[in-house]
Structure 1
């Protein structure tokens, strides 16, 4: 079953963080569970959809996908169309 939540915090250097769900415990998320191309990281406050799996350390988010991107004052970094 797919669930929805909001990224409470995510440390891109360490590769993990937590997703908060209304009225429920926070869920651990590891970068390897993020379904996206390129550098896998989440931004604080963005909405995500995920499944919960049980690991030896408790519940963990799996198959995490973005629903919305967190608002940010900084422009999003993009790669050039042609490498130089």
Structure 2
């Protein structure tokens, strides 16, 4: 709820980003009142330049050439991350990191003696490193 210059209450519409195409720079907001509003990248705050579907926003509305368009969009809640929801528990990651250190110590010892991991061991180590990196980035 916002008050205008005459101290009247003005309702600011809220909704969720329905979809947003970052390449083309536009998408739509599904308003809580059931309306659908055009969303252009130029009305987004800098930190939310590519909002994900489900991001909660409030916005002003103006009549555009093709219907209602959002103005002055403000992000209320970012969409929940699917990757973070599937993230491993910190205690589980601690065990994985300790095991990774042991593997890398063996690889390091072999490299000190002039040998790369033999066979597909190098490929397995690379896959392991990528998997752990993906868990940290989630």
Q: TM-score, normalised by structure 2?
A: 0.49
Pick the aligned partner of 1:66 from 60, 72, 75. 75
Alignment partners' CA distance in 1, 2:15 and 2:50: 16
Matches of 1:43 and 1:61, distance apart in 2: 16
Segments of structure 2 that go 5 or more residues without pairing to the other structure are: 1-10, 85-136
Residue 25 of structure 1, CA deviation:
2.1
1:35 Cα offset (Å): 2.0
1:34 maps to 44
> Which structure shows the higher strand fraction?
1
The question of whether the paired residues in 1 share the 8 Å contact of 2:16 and 2:55 is answered with: yes
Structure number with the higher helix fraction is 2
RMSD: 1.9
**Higher RCO by CA contacts (8 Å cutoff, separation 6 or greater):** 1
What's the secondary structure of 2:46's corresponding residue? Answer: coil
1:22-78, Cα deviation, whole Å (9 max, x unpaired): 3422111000011224x72211101001000111221100101110011111648xx
* Structure 1: gaps (5+ residues): 77-84
Q: Is the aligned partner of 1:14 residue 2:12?
A: no
Once structures 1 and 2 are overlaid, which stretch shifts more, 12-21 or 65-74?
Answer: 65-74
- With the length of structure 1 as denominator, give the TM-score of the two structures: 0.77
The structure that has the greater radius of gyration is 2
Contact 1:7 1:46 in 2 (8 A): yes
Are 1:54 and 2:63 an aligned pair? yes
